[in-house]
Amino acid sequence: MLRGREAEQSALRALIERAAAGDGAALVLRGQPGVGKSALLDDAVTAARDADEGTGVTVLRTRGVESEAPLPFAALHRLLRPVLERLDDIPAPQARALRAALGEEAEGAGDRRLVYLATLNLLSEVGGDRPVLGVVDDAHWLDDASAAALLFVARRLEGEAVAFMFAIRDDEAGAFDTPELTTITITGVAATAAGELIADQAAAPIAAHVLEELLEVTDGNPLGLIELSGALTPDQLTGHQRLPERLPLTERVERAFLDRYRKLDAAAQTVLLVVAADDSGHPAIVARAAAALGAPEEAFDTAEESGLLRVSTEGLMLRHPLVRSAIYGAATSSRRRQTHRALADAFAGTAHEDRRAWHLAASVDGPDPDVVAALDEAAQRSSRRGGHEAAAAAWARAAELTLDPHERAQRLLNAAGANLAAGRPLETDLLTRAALVDADDPLLRADLLQLQGQVEWNTRSLHDGYRIVCRAAATAAPHDPAHARILAMLASALASFGAHAVDTPSPSTIVTAPAPDATVEEQAADALLRGFTAVIDNDWASAATALRRAWDLPLPATAPGLIHANLAIATMHLGDDERAIRLHDLQLQHARDAGAVNMIEHALTRGVVFRIATGAWSEAFKAAQEALLLDRNLGLDELAAFPLAELAVISALRGDPAAPQHLRDLDAELERHPPHGATTGLVRGLAHWAAARQLDVTPATALHHLQQIDLPVARWLTALDRIETAVRAERRDLAEKWLDEIRCFAEGADMAWAWATVHHARAVLGHGDAEEHLTRALDWHATSPRLPARARTQLALGEHLRRHRRRTAARVPLREALDTFESLGAASWAERARQELRASGETARRGTNLVASDLTPQESQIAALVREGLSNKDVAARLFISPRTVDFHLRNVYTKLGITSRTELAALTGDLT
Amino acid sequence: MMRNTPRAFVGTVMFRLEDPPDVGVCEAVERQVGDLPGVSFCDVDEAAGVLIVTAREPVERAEVLAVLDRLDCRVAQ
């Protein structure tokens, strides 16, 4: 019976009641060992089960087990086992990923975030029938993969009929980092409750001053009160004899346990040490290992009678985790090794190969090839299941037991790669540094440097990352020129997006040109390298020639991913919109097929840039929203600034009333997560463009923003805006300079949109005959896919003709401009075209393509996909949410739009914003 | 595995230190860890907050941690 815990019990019961009302949440109980966290969890479970007859609550339980740290998803598997039959209710890719992660399907788990999402959606589905209570004890000892999945779930319970309770020791951090979850700190019980607790157990009445001293020593910790008072003699309890000397509480409790342990015979001690060394609690395994160490079956009875061992249907458990730390800590290292060897032998031939590998690793006192082989296999198994942290740990441990420096460095490289996949850049960096100490092989060193560079440019400095990749290329160059060329190409790609280092030679000087009969992969890498290098040098003619050659090469699908990815990235430099959209859509298709979340986000956001340019703004808006939802739904918040910047630009270009809000959202995100790496220049450029295009900004303010755009890709996108704004702000010098800049680009790259911009800008600046320049601009626009720019030139020509009293001639370009602006939903430009048409004597119609509504981004995204004909389950799979969530949002959409069915939704015309 | 599970190692292992130690402590760490049997190289990279230990013969990880513990250097998890 709990004593003195009424407030905590009430908080836990309230949590269950909230979940039953569909308002799920998570609660963390934090406190010292023995303070009563587990007892509170048990009490909450009992309360939930008592309520079972009335409200119906599904209770799912698991706990962290210290020895399971290297076993991916072990704790999650125990939690979900009772509800796994409901997996068919969630989107198939998520169900497959979760099955693979739990080892129930041989196929690889794919992206780990699918596993997290599958967990959330499975619980959401189960909660749809009956509220769910998830209980996780000893969460500080959860294996990393389970901890990540459960944290993901715990942060997303709002609106779900699911509650979670976690118990964590305050002296352990582990992978379960919970600063943003509601936490109750469990402290000791008060004097009255303490007295009652001791009275429940003690053999003699306790004297008031003894109780006071025990309270002071234990700070009211219930386990401490029970164990320390239980260890006292009747004379000490009644105050006739002094209490033993003082120690910190945990040590005192451990010593109390250890005293009991040491009073047992050797065989019972052996049994307890075996259970302490493997807390999986498998009776048969423990029996086998104990027998191998000389403990007969009867020893189990002795251990159980001591109260230190509990035997239940769930297996063998020690009385408390402090029993385990006391017993294991007191054993000599050679005794521990013997125990682990016995356990490894006991696990041989069972399904627990990973446990066997880790016991083997603990049983040796130096390098051992057999143990290394077992750890390698464990790492591969974990990797297949998406347990990247566990894979990294197994490879790193295998490296520690490997004598050969080259093999050791190779294993550390594997471990570093697994850590990167787990999203742990610090650990990746440490392991690559350790491996570089040992690695002599230049190609292995180049691989390690490439990985180190990737961590650097993605998390810290783009420039340092660039420097490291250059070193990787230089290291590989004398030994594998083809590989070195790819690395040099990668470095030059980084430089083309703003990376530089004065102390590093240009990547193009690191490698020589490939032989004429070189493979198509080598030729493509070479052409890209030359193209990126020319971009850095502002040599646009050479850049265009080299990049076009790279795109024209018949590159096989099996070519290195880095080449394929950079072929798509290179399209940005020339503004080759159609090719860019084709390549990024292909990348998106492959990413969707593979469930590769990061690549889906990458392809979506890059594709949006070109759709902004071509005027496919509806598609661009939807794709940016999808990328943003994916970032938010899957915890990729550090990537969210890019799609937010794109949304801000689209809505600013449209003159949308929501544009200021989009810009505020973007500014807040840039504050929270400043962009890192190769996208920094582009994201900042888009942000300044969006700020400059707000309806109420002065020309001076707009110019201030536009002057800060320094990446060429972003400068080309904004060229006409920059020149027009500079003229309006009476900075003709800047306008002329920027015209010269885009003219140089047009002459070199020979892109139709660039020439169109040059001629339009010349008209703006009054270089010669405006009508002639605008007409020539339209000639170039005729071969360019950039519809918004074309419509702006048509508008400018119409305005020019109308001002020169050629009203009939003006109507033709003005009508075309109006049609385009209306189809784009560009309200402010459309209004300008309408005014000009009216001034030219024509009554223009009012466009109706935008359906104004109060839909949230998630709702409008769901509505758009439903209108494309996707089922709720397909929408859920696409947006990484649950079908129940789709259904919930869809009902809101119906209410807000005043409709009642999918058919009515599909029949609506225009974009929903 | 548990914190005090036997963990002998060869090769280079990095220990991330929670707080950068001062120069005197760094020197003591380098000297005392360097004196452990089997350790062939030991260096504290103060800028990175990392202890680098290279072992040519097997060294028990707990022995390195014991030195750090004695010198009040906390190792990040």
**Could you report the per-residue pLDDT of A86-119, keeping only the tens digit for each?**
998 888 888 988 998 988 876 766 678 888 889 9
| Same-domain check for residues A65 and A91 | yes
To test the contact with chain B by mutation, choose from A437, A456, A459, A461 the residue with the greatest count of B C-beta atoms within 10 A, namely: A437
CA distances from A837 to A790, A792, A799, A821, A831 (A): 17, 14, 9, 13, 10
Q: Answer whether A365 sits within 8 Å of B58, measured CB to CB.
A: yes
* Same structural domain, A242 and A319: no
d(CA A644, CA A664): 10
Percent of chain A with pLDDT over 90: 60
Lowest mean per-residue pLDDT among A455-459, A734-738, A739-743, A809-813: A455-459
Residues of chain A contacting residue B52, judged by C-beta atoms under 8 Å apart: 433-434, 437
Of A67, A174, A400, the CB nearest to B10: A400
- Answer whether B7 sits within 8 Å of A174, measured CB to CB: no
Taking the CA of residue A357 and the nearest CA in chain B, the distance in Å comes to 11
Measure A394 CA to nearest chain B CA, in Å. 11
Count structural domains, chain B: 1
Q: pLDDT tens-digit profile of A527-557? A: 999 999 999 999 999 999 999 999 999 999 8
Residue with tokens 């320390």: A228
DSSP label of A909: -
What are the residues of chain A with a beta carbon less than 8 Å away from any beta carbon of chain B?
66-67, 69-70, 173-174, 325, 328-329, 333, 336-337, 340, 358, 361-367, 397, 399-403, 405, 408, 426, 430-431, 433-435, 437-438
CB-CB neighbors (< 8 A) of B10 in chain A: 366-367, 400-403, 408
In this complex, do B52 and A433 lie within 8 Å of one another by their Cβ atoms? yes
Does residue A430 lie in a domain region?
Answer: no
Q: What is the pLDDT of residue A245?
A: 63
Whole-complex ipTM: 0.95
Those residues whose C-beta lies under 8 Å from the C-beta of residue A835, and which sit 6 or more positions away, are none
> Does A796 map to a domain?
no
- Distance from C-alpha of A773 to C-alpha of A755, rounded to nearest angstrom: 11
Selected residue of B9, B63, B74 to mutate for chain A interface (largest A Cβ count, 10 A): B9
pLDDT exceeds cutoff 90 at A875: no
**Are A222 and A270 members of one domain?**
no
Residues of A in contact with B57 (CB under 8 A): 366
> Looking at beta carbons, which residues of chain A come within 8 Å of B77?
173-174
Q: Tell me the CB-side half-sphere exposure of residue A670, using CA atoms within 13 A.
A: 21
Interatomic CA distance for residues A792 and A736, integer angstroms: 20
Residue A639 or residue A179, greater confidence: A639
pLDDT in tens, A194-218: 888 887 777 677 888 888 888 877 7
Minimal Cα–Cα distance from A326 to chain B, Å? 11
**What would the two tokens of residue A435 be?**
């491996």
The pLDDT confidence band at residue A837, using thresholds 50, 70 and 90, is: very high
pLDDT given at position A374: 97
A175 pLDDT exceeds 70?
no
In a domain, B35, yes or no: yes
Q: How many CB atoms lie within 10 A of CB A904?
A: 12
Question: Which CATH number does the domain housing residue A22 bear?
Answer: 3.40.50.300
Q: Which residues of B touch A363 (CB under 8 A)?
A: 6
Of A67, A430, A433, the CB nearest to B1: A67
- Collect all residues of chain B within an 8 Å Cβ-Cβ radius of residue A336: 4-6
pLDDT(A751) > 90: yes
Which residues in chain A touch residue B9, judged by CB atoms under 8 angstroms apart? Answer: 400-401
Same-domain check for residues A292 and A233: no
Is residue B22 classed exposed, middle or buried when 0-12, 13-18 and 19+ CB atoms within 10 A define those classes?
exposed
Nearest residue of chain B to residue A428 (CA atoms): B14
Question: What's the pLDDT score for residue A911?
Answer: 62
Q: Is position A155 within any domain?
A: yes
User: What is the DSSP secondary structure assignment for residue B75, as one 8-state letter?
Assistant: B
Range of the domain at A216: 191-246
A477 Rama class: left (phi>0) / alpha (psi -120 to 50) / beta: alpha
Please enumerate residues of B whose Cβ is less than 8 A from a Cβ of A: 1-2, 4-14, 16, 50, 52, 54, 57-58, 60, 62, 77
Selecting from A325, A333, A408 the residue whose C-beta is nearest the C-beta of B11 gives A408
In a domain, B75, yes or no: no
d(CA A879, CA A632): 10
Asked if residue A414 belongs to a domain, the reply is no
Above 60 in pLDDT, residue A849? no
Q: Is residue A385 part of a domain?
A: no
Highest mean pLDDT among A97-111, A148-162, A401-415, A835-849: A401-415
User: Cβ contact (<8 Å) for B2 and A67?
Assistant: yes
Least-confidence region, from A152-156, A824-828, A882-886: A882-886
- What is the domain extent for residue B58? 8-70
The answer to the question of residue A334 being in a domain is yes
Q: What angle do CA A193, A135, A56 make, to 5 degrees?
A: 100
Which of A208, A224, A246 marks a domain boundary? A246
CB contact under 8 Å between B8 and A173, yes or no, is no
Last residue of a domain, one of A363, A380, A414: A363
Q: What is the pLDDT of residue A901?
A: 86
Q: Is residue B57 part of a domain?
A: yes
Residue A207 pLDDT: 81
- Exposure class string for A828-840: b at 16+ Cβ within 10 A, else e: bbbbbbbebbeeb
Provide the pLDDT for residue A198: 82
Chain A to chain B Cβ contacts (< 8 Å)? 77
What is the arithmetic mean of pLDDT over A447-460?
92
Mean pLDDT by 10 residues, chain B (77 residues): 84 88 88 95 89 94 93 82
Residues A352 and A282 occupy one common structural domain: yes
How many structural domains are present in chain A? 4
Cross-chain CB nearest to A400 (options B5, B11, B52): B11
Asked if B1's CB is within 8 angstroms of A69's CB, the reply is yes
pLDDT at A302 over 80: yes
Please name the residue of chain B whose CA is at the shortest distance from the CA of residue A335.
Answer: B6
Q: N- to C-terminal Cα distance for chain A?
A: 57
How much is the mean pLDDT over chain A? 89
The minimal CB distance from B77 to the residues A173, A408, A435 is found for: A173
Partner-chain contact B14 A408, CB within 8 Å: no
Whether residue A265 is found in the same domain as residue A217 = no
B23 is a domain residue: yes
* Residue at A364: amino acid letter: V
Tell me: do A274 and A133 sit in the same domain.
no
Taking the CA of residue A40 and the nearest CA in chain B, the distance in Å comes to: 26
**pLDDT > 70 fraction of chain A, expressed in percent and rounded:** 96
Q: Are residues A68 and A152 in the same domain?
A: yes
pLDDT tens-digit readout, A388-407: 888 999 999 999 999 999 99
- What is the distance in angstroms between the Cα of A276 and the nearest Cα belonging to chain B? 10
Of A337, A433, A438, the CB nearest to B14: A433
CB contact under 8 A, A437 and B8: no
User: Is B32 within the bounds of a domain?
Assistant: yes
B66 part of a folded domain? yes
Residue A250 clears pLDDT 60, i.e. is over it: yes
Mutation choice for B interface testing from A274, A400, A426 by most B CBs within 10 A:
A400
Same domain as A170, residue A274: no
Q: Do residue A400 and residue B16 have CB atoms under 8 angstroms apart?
A: no
Residues A156 and A40 grouped into a single domain:
yes
Say how far apart CA A476 and CA A447 lie, in whole Å.
Answer: 9
CATH number at residue B14: 3.30.70.100
pLDDT of residue A612: 96
Q: Which contiguous run of DSSP H or E holds residue A426? A: helix A425-438
For the segment A351-400, what is each residue's pLDDT rounded down to a tens digit?
889 999 999 999 999 999 999 999 999 999 988 888 888 899 999 999 99
Residue A751 CA, distance from chain mean position: 38
Residue A358's closest chain B neighbor by CA? B1
Q: Is residue B61 part of a domain?
A: yes
Residue in A with minimal Cα distance to B38: A366
Contact A437 B54 (CB under 8 A): yes
- Distance from A355 to chain B by nearest Cα, in Å? 9
**A187 pLDDT band (50/70/90 cuts)?**
confident
| Whether B50 and A401 lie within 8 Å, measured CB to CB | no
Smallest Cβ distance to B58: which of A67, A366, A434?
A: A366
Last residue of a domain, one of A164, A186, A208: A186
| CA distances to A25, A244, A873, A886 from A158, in Å | 6, 51, 21, 15
Looking at the fold, whether A122 and A182 belong to one and the same domain comes out as yes
Asked if the structure places residue B38 within a domain, the reply is: yes
Give mean pLDDT, residues A620-625.
92
Residues A213 and A80 in one domain: no
